[in-house]
């Protein structure tokens, strides 16, 4: 991941986590997401089945703040970001999420909150999983 041509975060095998903080999110939402990220069995075992977690493979997390995940495009042609938390709420929850992932024993690299980041990804699969602490889907 680059900001102004400077590498600010890079990992090998692991997860690219695009983290959007909702206006209704709290500490318990961060705890839920950390538990899911650390324990989700989405890496292949020797039989090619999803049976290994990021912990099991010794993988890392690239954690990127992503308010645009809250872009609501149901009305009109321009997304509404009314559901995205303001920086004064989002930054502490983003930083706590990174700290809790590290406390769980994971290597965590982060971007720069609010910066324009160029993020490169090799998606093995492709596998993309949506997590929502509000369990809306």
- Predicted confidence pLDDT, tens digits, the chain (137 residues): 899 989 999 999 999 999 999 999 999 999 999 999 999 999 999 999 999 999 999 999 999 999 999 899 999 999 999 999 999 999 999 999 999 999 999 999 998 888 899 999 998 888 899 999 988 76
Q: Which residues pair with 109 in a beta bridge?
A: 62
Domain range summary for the chain, segments of one domain joined by + = 2-110
Q: What CATH number was assigned to the domain covering residues 2-110? A: 3.50.80.10
Q: Establish how many alpha carbons lie within 13 A of residue 51's alpha carbon, considering only the half-sphere containing its beta carbon.
A: 5
- What's the pLDDT score for residue 3? 92
Task: Report yes or no: 12 and 18 within 8 Å, Cβ to Cβ.
Answer: no
- What's the pLDDT score for residue 125? 82
- What's the pLDDT score for residue 137? 67
Q: At 48, phi and psi to the nearest 5?
A: 80, 15
**Which residues does the annotation mark as catalytic?**
68
Q: Angle of helix 87-103 relative to helix 27-39, nearest 10 degrees?
A: 40
């Amino acid at each position: 991941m680059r900001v102004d041509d400077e590498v600010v975060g890079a990992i090998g095998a692991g997860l690219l986590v695009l983290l959007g903080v909702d206006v209704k999110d709290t500490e318990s939402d961060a705890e839920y997401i950390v538990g899911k990220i650390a324990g989700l069995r989405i890496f292949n075992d020797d039989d090619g089945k999803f049976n290994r977690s990021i912990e099991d493979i010794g993988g890392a997390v690239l954690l990127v703040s992503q308010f645009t995940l809250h872009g609501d495009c149901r009305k009109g042609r321009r997304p509404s970001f009314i559901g995205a938390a303001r920086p004064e709420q989002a930054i502490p929850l983003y930083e706590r999420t990174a700290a809790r992932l590290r406390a769980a024993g994971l290597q965590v690299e982060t971007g720069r909150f609010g910066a324009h980041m160029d993020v490169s990804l090799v998606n093995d699969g492709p596998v993309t999983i949506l997590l929502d602490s509000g369990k809306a889907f």
